[in-house]
Amino acid sequence: MDVDEIDEEEFGFSRNYFLAKELGSSRKKSARKLSEIDLVDEEELRQVAANIEPKHEKEVKHLISSYESSYSNWLFALRCGFALLMYGFGSKKALMEDFATKSLTEYSVVVVNGYLQSINLKQVVITLAELLWDQLKLGRKTPSGSLCKSQQPFNTRSMSYLLTFLDKPDLEVEDCFVCILVHNIDGPGLRDSDSQQCLARIASCSHVRMVASIDHVNAPLLWDKKMVHTQFDWYWCHVPTFAPYKSLTPNAQNVFKVLAEHQLAHPDEEGMPTNNLYSTCRERFLVSSQVTLNSHLTEFKDHELIKTKRNSDGQDCLCIPLTNEALQKLIAEII
């Protein structure tokens, strides 16, 4: 192509550009205003969205059910000392819990929701130590051959002591370990270096087995070579589920904030009565009906953010199973 041809082509592009601008400016502009848009009610939108049929539902169900044939292999890998790492498109939460329910029935299991903003790993380690101690009592075997009451209470022990107990090499009990399920190990509450180092140390304990999931493509960058091959010792499982990730809407977050603020202001109460929560949220224009509130509460229960209790007056009360410190951090992060 010579210089004249190039100039002619560039001229053609320029002419078309200005022609398009001229035609665009000559068109009649709409007189509609943003305020005239008929917005759909939130409750109606939720109902319509709930009735949308997911695509390829049959194929997705078949895919997820096919993973059950791998449960025995996963359990064998755990018994060999590996940690399972689930990766692939879609939420792995239901799959991991189904595996735990069907294949880890002989072991104690602790679930950690990494998608939460604040997680107390010290409390997780305390729980693991207590569960291992209970297994030892049932087996009636300890390093000295008899139970030693001085091992408890674990909640007064240091992190170093707890990890050493979970890693005791001289426990003469075959196949004795506790399991920890970490949903979204690369989540916001566990993404910092200290948390990842702590999780790696937990996974390396001889009497702990870890099953975890990752959701971010760059999650492996959180670990160095030692953590991957020596501490976590991952057995990688590619398990795309195409299951949706559930997230809280701004209104749902503010409803949760109301519940959290009440719990912090009334630490001696068993929880916030559902009727009171509805009244407060309606006054603040967070919900328009009881149905809308119930949909938010269902989301909270799916995320395992709330529990229901019945107080002395027979009322159903809602409470958040988090420490006051964690609640304060969550409230600060909700705009």
Based on the structure, what is the number of domains in the chain? 2
Residue 278's CATH number: 1.10.10.10
Range of the domain at 225: 57-238
> How far is 271 from 265, CA to CA, in rounded Å?
11
Does residue 322 sit within a domain? yes
pLDDT digits (tens, 9 = 90+) for 274-327: 999 999 998 988 888 888 888 888 878 877 788 888 887 778 899 988 888 878
pLDDT digits (tens, 9 = 90+) for 88-106: 999 999 999 999 999 999 9
Does residue 124 sit within a domain? yes
Residue 119: its pLDDT value, please? 82
Of 187, 215, 238, the domain-final residue:
238
Of 238, 265, 292, the domain-final residue:
238
Residues 140 and 279 in one domain: no
Nearest in space to 204 (alpha carbons), one of 125, 116, 140: 125
Q: What are phi and psi of 138, to 5 degrees?
A: -65, -35
First CA to last CA across the chain, in angstroms?
A: 59
**165 close to 142: Cβ distance less than 8 angstroms:** no
For 57, 150, 166, 222, the CA distances from 230, given in Å and listed in that order, are 40, 32, 17, 15
Residues 194 and 316 in one domain: no
Does residue 38 sit within a domain? no
Does residue 4 sit within a domain? no
Residues 73 and 162 in one domain: yes
Residue 196: its pLDDT value, please? 96
Residue 146: its pLDDT value, please? 44
> How far is 227 from 291, CA to CA, in rounded Å?
47
> How far is 278 from 293, CA to CA, in rounded Å?
7
Residues 306 and 183 in one domain: no
Of 210, 238, 266, the domain-final residue:
238
Q: Are strands 208-213 and 83-87 parallel, antiparallel or unpaired?
A: parallel
- Which stretches of the chain drop beneath a pLDDT of 50? 3, 141, 143-150
Residue 241: its pLDDT value, please? 93
* Assigned token pair, 142: 């300890």
CA-angle at 175, arms to 234 and 226, nearest 5° = 25
